[in-house]
């Protein structure tokens, strides 16, 4: 019964979403207040219906209702409760529903927090969101219905892919989807602004917090996914340039560009059409990334059910959304004229430079990802694009961004002078140079460049904060007081840059990782990275829905044993699969990583031991970036929509 | 910029998106009609001998040239792989079984370095009798390698009879490879 209610709620949501779309987009031109205020109410009820539908599916998962095909195929009675719930979005139909729930949540957020928007703009934004949601809900309801019943039901259910039974992956899809889908709001603002024909400073101010929230989630989602592959796949790798990963990276890159250039719109009323285009592009890339990857066109290692029929439906939705918005852009955007002018050396120029390079990276990654199928289509040739291509093309393009990131925040708006900025950055430059020389002396050129770049970005961001608080030039207490009165957006921006620098440090440090694969009998030991690793024992241990063999490893340095690691091999009887559970010990700057690769017939274990310097920094950096974004969100002007005058006063004071 | 040129410029994203969408539409339609499979594509090499190449060995193993596979004593497989490729690790146990069953498999590591390759082989087993390194990727281009892993079946006269792009599975071995082995041995 409950699944039928969920199914019915889903059908209601389709109707409500389309109503929201039509009323929202056409209501404002009726000049009827009722039409204007109907859109937010429809958005709320649309969300309520969809949330009910989703809860019905969660309920079916929690009570293991195997008459629902979705639950029978991807869950089992032995699956722990957490994974019975998270398994709902571990498959195509369920993840579509989650996607739609998050989209309607975005609509709800605009309805609730958009009180300071002009009513007609809010209605149109909600209208655009409603139409997108309606399209994808219709797809979910007709083609990929998660409530399909199964009779007779199986006794136990097929169970979940063991490798997905992991807390990191459980929360990866919702976080990533929130990032993807969140950009729909920025997209809807862009479309609404094009319909109204007005893009001004206020547009920049309205669109930025929404872009910022989704950017934070996307950053977090990518970091979570990368962290998951680091600790579960057991290779010590964290990024593979797979189409699915690239699909998440592309909107992140354009989203980052959007964040930066919307500042220019807000403060200087320039780059308007470009900002609108980026908002459209970011959501378009999110959409195409999510769905085309699943269509099976791209040869990905991530397995999704391939369904070309569903692919055509999705492609039609994408064509309407992306094609329609770009058509509107081509018609309406040419009249948007910049009113702010700026000199070649200025904050604006630095932000343009950031945009140019971010978009260049986007273009390269996009080309590399789509080249194989399109080369086949156009020229009938077969070729492969793998990690070496991406490393060789993306890293050189990232270098100028890293260099420019140091200068940008210190440059003044409109017209700046380079010399004083260089002077202020002597410390950052010095630290970077020292790091480079120390590492280069040890013949680690790649690591030296990366670590120097990371140090440069972190130090430059700290210098920016120190400048603003006049650290060491006024008494410490006064600096602290200044720090607390700084606009939170500038602290957030500095945190974002620091986080990026920390990630760069991590990636660079990982190039120094050492690995060794050894076969050890209990009692034997091996040396790696200055430590002595000893296999003490191999024993069995029970698990909730698996049995496992655990290797006890001790790690000793000169002063004796300081660490015990317990990597295990888990046997999932239901699926007949084995997973390796890596044991990772971190001190924050160095990971000791042990994998129990296999147990040999003659006794003894094949172990993979890694020492990965700076590995945690990759994800800590991602976390800092996301936190910086959230911190920036708490800025007063975003919260209360304070008039622009106050900010100018604050900027002068700093 | 003249207003017209500005208008044309602003239409560029639309044109690109339409072209891309059309491409995807054709690909999807071909996929539905089984005319396009991103994982397995017909190879221009089928019925021919591999183009001339001579690749050095890697990870302490002997490399090989096209002349070494011009007339193998028994049909054999040439397997393209790389340590950075996840499906390659997936298919490794199956290759190990095939090698243990007496099939000779020669490997070519695609754009790889010795260190990570050694780790890969130590972890996933080494089914290869010989192992060459195509560090620059040019031999792969000449072969028309679509991506790694990719496996070529070469008969006793050195002619490529079959190519499979993607990780081999027990089903493929049963349905395609075993009949080929029977036919050409």
pLDDT score of B25 more than 90: no
Which pLDDT tens digit goes with each residue over B82-106? 987 777 888 899 999 999 988 999 9
Q: How far apart are CA A404 and CA A394, in angstroms?
A: 16
Which of B17, B25, B38 faces A296 most closely, judged by CB atoms? Answer: B38
Measure the CA angle with vertex B94, ends B88 and B95; round to 5°: 70
B-chain CB neighbours of A326 within 8 Å are 13-14, 17
On chain A, the residues whose CB falls within 8 A of the CB of B25 are 312, 315
Cis peptide leading into residue A152 (ω within 30°): yes
Q: At what angle do helices B86-100 and B114-124 cross, to 10 degrees?
A: 60
With pLDDT > 70 as the criterion, what percentage of chain A qualifies? 92
Work out the minimum CA distance from B19 to partner chain A, whole angstroms: 10
ipTM of the predicted structure?
Answer: 0.80
How far is residue A373's CA from residue B23's CA, in Å, rounded to a whole number?
Answer: 9
Length of chain B: 185
Residue A52: pLDDT over 90: yes
CA nearest to B3 within chain A: A334
- A39, with CB counted inside 10 A (0-12, 13-18, 19+), is buried
The rounded distance, in Å, linking the Cα atoms of B127 and B95 is: 6
Half-sphere exposure of A605 (CA within 13 A, CB side): 29
* Chain position carrying tokens 């002997």: B62
Longest dimension (CA), chain A: 83
- Per-residue pLDDT of A203-257, as tens digits, reads 888 888 899 999 999 999 999 888 888 887 666 678 888 888 888 999 999 999 9
d(CA A573, CA A581): 16
Alpha-carbon span B118 to B113, nearest angstrom: 9
pLDDT band at residue A54 under the 50/70/90 scheme:
very high
- Backbone phi and psi for residue A513, each to the nearest 5 degrees, phi listed first: -60, 145
Q: Which residues of A touch B144 (CB under 8 A)?
A: 381-383
From B10, B23, B148, residue closest to A329, measured CB to CB:
B10
Instruction: List the single best residue of B12, B32, B34, B86 to mutate versus A (max A Cβ within 10 A).
Output: B86
Inter-chain CB proximity B145 and A386 less than 8 Å: no
Helix axes A243-268, A272-295, angle to 10 degrees: 170
Averaged pLDDT, B154-179: 87
Please state the domain extents for chain B: 1-36, 54-184
Q: CA A425 to CA A405: how far, in whole Å?
A: 12
Asked if B6 lies within 8 A of A297 by C-beta distance, the reply is no
pLDDT band at B15 (very low <50, low <70, confident <90, very high): very high
Residues of chain A contacting residue B38, judged by C-beta atoms under 8 Å apart? 296-299, 372-373
Q: How far is B1 from chain A (nearest CA, A)?
A: 11
Disruptive mutation site among B123, B126, B140, B169 for chain A (greatest number of A CBs within 10 Å): B123
pLDDT of A645 > 90? The answer is no
In 3D, which of A123, A141, A2 has the Cα closest to residue A59?
A2
Angle at A129 between CA A124 and CA A132, to 5 degrees: 125
Mean pLDDT taken over chain B:
86
Distance from CA of A244 to the nearest CA of B (A): 13
| DSSP letter, residue A529 | T
Rounded to the nearest angstrom, the gap between the alpha carbon of residue A587 and the centroid of all alpha carbons in its chain is: 25
A299: nearest CA in chain B?
Answer: B38
Q: What is the pLDDT of residues A562-614, one digit of tens each?
A: 888 999 888 887 666 777 888 888 888 888 888 887 777 777 788 888 888 88
pLDDT at B34: 67
d(CA A168, CA A224): 6
Q: Is A412 exposed, middle or buried, given 0-12, 13-18 or 19+ CB atoms closer than 10 A?
A: middle
For A323, the closest of B21, B41, B110 (CB atoms) is B21
- What's the predicted TM-score (pTM) here? 0.82
Q: How many CB atoms lie within 10 A of CB A483?
A: 15
- B10 and A386 within 8 Å at the Cβ level: the answer is no
Under a CB-based contact definition with an 8 Å cutoff, are residues A596 and A625 in contact? no
Of the candidates B28, B41, B137, the beta carbon closest to that of A295 is on B28
CA distance A528 to A521: 17
Q: Output the 3-class SS for A43-88.
A: HHHHHHHHHHHHHHHHHHHHCCCCCEHHHHHHCCCCCCHHHHHHHH
Q: Is A294 left (phi over 0), alpha (psi -120 to 50) or beta?
A: alpha
**pLDDT at position B37, please?**
63
Question: Is A138's pLDDT higher than 80?
Answer: yes
Residues of A in contact with B146 (CB under 8 A): 299, 372, 382-384
Per domain, the residue ranges of chain A are 1-160, 425-512+621-653, 514-613
Q: Which residues of A touch B32 (CB under 8 A)?
A: 308-309, 312
Tell me the pLDDT band of A652, cut-offs 50, 70 and 90.
very low
pLDDT digits (tens, 9 = 90+) for A419-439: 888 888 888 999 999 989 988
Q: What is the pLDDT of residues A269-319, one digit of tens each?
A: 888 889 999 999 999 999 988 877 777 666 655 555 455 567 788 888 999
Q: Which pLDDT value is given to residue B42?
A: 56
Query: Mind listing the pLDDT tens digit for each residue in B131-160?
Result: 999 888 888 888 878 778 889 999 988 899
Angle at B151 between CA B147 and CA B154, to 5 degrees: 140
Contacts of range A404-407, beta carbons closer than 8 Å, 24 or more positions apart: A404/A350, A404/A353, A404/A354, A404/A357, A405/A354, A405/A457, A405/A460, A405/A497, A405/A500, A405/A501, A406/A456, A406/A457, A406/A459, A406/A460, A407/A350, A407/A460
Q: Read off φ and ψ for residue A271, nearest 5 degrees.
A: 60, 35
Nearest CA-CA distance, residue A373 and chain B, Å: 7
Homologous superfamily of B54-184: Glutaredoxin (3.40.30.10)
- Nearest CA to A247 out of A323, A300, A211, A208 is that of A300
A555: helix, strand or coil: strand
- Residues of chain B in contact with residue A382, where contact means CB-CB under 8 angstroms, are 41, 43, 144-146, 165
H or E, element range at B9: helix B3-32
- Asked if the Cβ–Cβ distance from A292 to B29 is below 8 Å, we say no
Per-residue tokens: A504? 């760069």
How many other β-carbons are positioned within 10 Å of the β-carbon of residue A90? Answer: 18
* Tokens found for residue A629: 């974004």
Length of chain A: 654
Task: With CA atoms as reference, report the closest residue to A207 among A268, A287, A276.
Answer: A276
CB contact under 8 A, B145 and A381: no
Residue A91 CA to residue A93 CA, distance in Å, equals: 6
pLDDT, tens digit, for every residue of A155-204?
877 777 777 777 777 788 889 999 999 999 999 999 999 998 888 888 88
Q: How far apart are CA A111 and CA A109, in angstroms?
A: 5
Q: Are A630 and A574 in contact (CB under 8 A)?
A: no
Residues of A whose CB is below 8 A from B140: 384
- Closest chain A C-alpha to B119 CA, distance in angstroms: 7
Q: Locate the chain B residue with the closest alpha carbon to A317.
A: B21
């Amino acid at each position: 019964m409950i699944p039928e209610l969920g199914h019915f709620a889903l059908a209601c949501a389709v109707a409500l979403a389309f109503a929201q779309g039509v009323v929202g987009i056409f209501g404002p031109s009726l000049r009827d207040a009722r039409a204007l205020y109907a859109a937010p109410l429809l958005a709320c009820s649309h969300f309520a219906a969809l949330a009910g539908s989703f809860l019905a599916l969660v309920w079916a998962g929690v009570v293991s209702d195997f008459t629902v095909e979705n639950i029978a195929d991807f869950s089992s009675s032995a699956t722990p409760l957490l994974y019975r719930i998270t398994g709902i979005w571990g498959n195509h139909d369920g993840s579509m529903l989650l996607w739609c729930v998050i989209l309607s949540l975005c609509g709800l957020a605009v309805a609730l927090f958009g009180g300071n928007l002009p009513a007609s703009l809010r209605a149109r934004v909600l209208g655009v969101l409603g139409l997108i949601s309606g399209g994808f809900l219709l797809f979910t309801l007709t083609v990929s219905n998660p409530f399909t019943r199964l009779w007779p039901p199986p006794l136990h259910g097929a169970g979940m892919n063991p490798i997905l039974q992991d807390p990191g992956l459980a929360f990866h899809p919702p976080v990533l989807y929130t990032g993807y889908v969140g950009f729909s709001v920025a997209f809807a603002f862009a479309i609404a602004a094009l319909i109204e024909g007005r893009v001004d400073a206020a547009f920049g101010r309205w669109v930025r917090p929404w872009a910022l929230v989704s950017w934070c989630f996307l950053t977090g989602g990518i970091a979570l996914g990368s962290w998951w592959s680091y600790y579960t796949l057991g290779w010590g790798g964290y990024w593979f340039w797979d189409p699915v990963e690239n699909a998440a990276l592309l909107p992140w890159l354009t989203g980052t560009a959007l964040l930066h250039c919307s500042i220019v719109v807000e403060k200087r009323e320039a780059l308007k059409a470009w900002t609108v285009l980026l908002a459209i592009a970011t959501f378009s890339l999110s959409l195409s990334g999510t769905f085309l990857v699943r269509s099976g066109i791209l040869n990905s290692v991530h397995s999704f059910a391939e369904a070309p029929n569903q692919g055509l439906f999705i492609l039609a939705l994408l064509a309407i959304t992306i094609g329609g918005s770009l058509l509107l852009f081509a018609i309406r955007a040419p009249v948007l004229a910049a009113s702010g002018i700026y000199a070649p050396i200025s904050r604006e120029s630095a932000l343009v430079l950031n945009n140019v390079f971010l978009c260049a990276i986007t273009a390269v990654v996009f080309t590399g990802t789509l080249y194989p199928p399109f080369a086949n289509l156009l020229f009938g040739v077969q070729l492969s694009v793998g990690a070496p291509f991406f490393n060789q093309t993306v890293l050189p393009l990232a270098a100028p961004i890293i260099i420019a990131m140091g200068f940008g925040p210190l440059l003044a708006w409109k017209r700046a002078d380079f010399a004083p900025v260089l002077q202020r950055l002597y410390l950052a430059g010095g630290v970077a140079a020292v790091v480079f020389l120390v590492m280069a002396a040890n013949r680690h050129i790649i690591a030296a460049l990366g670590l120097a770049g990371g140090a440069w970005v972190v130090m430059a961001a700290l210098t920016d904060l120190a400048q603003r608080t006049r650290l060491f030039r006024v008494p410490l207490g006064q600096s602290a007081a200044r720090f607390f009165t700084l606009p939170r957006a500038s602290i957030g921006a500095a945190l974002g840059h620091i986080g990026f620098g920390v990630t760069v440090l991590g990636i660079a440090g990982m190039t120094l990782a050492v690995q060794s694969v050894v076969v050890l009998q209990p009692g034997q030991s091996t040396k790696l990275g200055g430590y002595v690793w000893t296999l003490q024992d191999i024993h069995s241990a029970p698990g909730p829905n698996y049995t496992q063999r655990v290797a006890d490893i001790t790690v000793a340095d000169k002063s004796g044993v300081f660490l015990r690691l317990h990597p295990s091999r888990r046997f999932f009887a239901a699926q007949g699969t084995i997973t390796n559970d890596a044991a990772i010990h971190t001190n924050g700057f160095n990971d000791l990583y042990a994998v129990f690769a296999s147990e040999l017939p003659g006794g003894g274990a094949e172990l993979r031991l890694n020492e990965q310097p700076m590995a945690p920094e990759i994800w800590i950096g991602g976390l800092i970036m996301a936190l910086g974004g959230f911190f920036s969100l708490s800025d007063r002007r975003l919260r209360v929509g304070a008039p622009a005058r106050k900010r100018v006063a604050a900027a002068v004071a700093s | 910029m003249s207003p017209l040129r500005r208008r044309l410029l602003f239409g560029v994203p639309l044109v690109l998106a339409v072209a891309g969408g059309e491409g995807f539409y054709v690909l999807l339609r071909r996929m539905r009609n089984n005319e396009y499979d991103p994982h397995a594509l017909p190879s221009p090499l089928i019925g021919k001998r591999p183009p001339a190449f001579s690749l050095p060995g890697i990870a302490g193993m002997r490399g090989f040239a096209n002349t070494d596979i011009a007339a193998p004593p028994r049909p054999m497989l040439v397997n393209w792989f790389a340590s950075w490729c996840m499906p390659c690790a997936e298919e490794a146990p199956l290759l190990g079984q095939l090698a243990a069953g007496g099939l000779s498999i020669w490997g070519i590591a695609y754009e790889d370095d010795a260190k990570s390759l050694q780790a890969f082989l130590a972890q996933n087993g080494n089914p290869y009798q010989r192992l060459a390194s195509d560090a620059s990727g040019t031999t792969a281009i000449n072969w028309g390698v679509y991506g790694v892993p990719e496996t070529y079946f070469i008969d006793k006269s050195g002619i490529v009879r079959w190519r499979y792009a993607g990780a081999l599975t027990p089903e493929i071995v049963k349905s395609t490879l075993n009949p080929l082995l029977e036919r050409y041995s």
